[in-house]
């Protein structure tokens, strides 16, 4: 069964997105990624934690000819398969991608608001490095915090605890997994703008959404994003896009 509050969020965003900024964020990220390597197009791409498939479709529209999406939610994958039949969606765990896909297969790997839900980020980065082509590009778009900052306990719409990425720790984990950090772009102000707009839309149109979704779903989305916005506005959490290049081709 589809997570109804997650589906409500996608309706609010006007597309099949679960991540901040929806299509605008995807376009910003792709523009920067292609500035590092314009030849990424016409190659294979993997969207980890693809949800309902909107971001994967954006990759396809941008020119990636072989787009794959994986997610742990079977209902979300079934939805994506039916909505975007030209793409390849599979129920899969990111920790086992090296068993599912050939080594050095993808030229581009993206994670949009996915890693906050993962505790062993170091292991996941190693697995993604294994299936990335030499000089392949990785993009992590997610919540962040400074190393010395506290990480208050919040839960997402799937009721999973959220762990913002410590930038210093993440950079070290990327290095250990043979990813060379190309750039880290702070997007906190964008996250704040996006979440203010989302909550405003929910407030002004809640009566319309309550015709399709339960009052509990509407309340859950409002509470979740009100808390997230508060953390961002107070500077407790931030948002960033981290770009890295696979170093495996440099091995002797």
Which CATH code for domain 16-188+239-247?
3.40.50.150
- Of 99, 97, 209, 218, the closest CA to residue 157 belongs to 218
Q: Give long-range contacts, CB 8 A cutoff, 24+ apart: 200-204.
A: 201/12, 202/12
pTM over 0.85: yes
Q: Which tens digits make up the pLDDT trace of 92-137?
A: 999 999 999 999 999 999 999 999 999 899 999 999 999 999 999 9
Distance of CA 115 to the CA centre of its chain: 7
Distance CA 26, CA 13 (A): 13
Distance of CA 43 to the CA centre of its chain: 20
Instruction: Determine contact, residues 80/50, Cβ cutoff 8 Å.
Output: yes
Query: pLDDT at residue 147 above 70?
Result: no
For residue 180, the model assigns a pLDDT of 97
């Amino acid at each position: 069964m589809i997570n109804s509050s997650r589906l409500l969020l996608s309706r609010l965003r006007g597309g099949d997105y679960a991540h901040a900024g929806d299509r605008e964020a995807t376009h910003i990220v792709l523009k920067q990624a292609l500035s590092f390597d314009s030849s990424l197009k016409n190659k294979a791409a993997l969207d980890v934690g693809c949800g309902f498939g909107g971001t994967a479709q954006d990759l396809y529209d941008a020119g990636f000819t072989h787009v794959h999406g994986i997610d742990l939610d079977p209902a979300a994958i079934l939805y994506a398969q039916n909505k975007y039949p030209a793409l390849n969606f599979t129920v899969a765990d990111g920790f086992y991608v090296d068993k599912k896909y050939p080594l050095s297969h993808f030229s581009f790997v993206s994670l949009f608001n996915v890693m906050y839900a993962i505790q062993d980020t170091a292991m996941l980065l190693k697995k993604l490095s294994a299936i990335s082509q030499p000089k392949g590009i990785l993009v992590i778009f997610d919540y962040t915090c400074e190393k010395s900052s506290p990480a208050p306990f919040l839960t997402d719409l799937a009721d999973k605890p959220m762990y913002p990425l410590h930038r210093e720790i993440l950079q070290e984990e990327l290095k250990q997994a043979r990813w060379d950090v190309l750039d880290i772009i702070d997007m906190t102000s964008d996250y704040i703008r996006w979440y203010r707009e989302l909550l405003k839309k929910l407030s002004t149109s809640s009566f319309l959404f309550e015709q399709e979704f339960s009052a509990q779903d509407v309340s859950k989305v409002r509470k979740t994003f009100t808390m997230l916005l508060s953390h961002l506005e107070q500077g407790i959490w931030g948002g960033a896009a981290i770009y890295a290049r696979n170093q495996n081709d440099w091995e002797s």
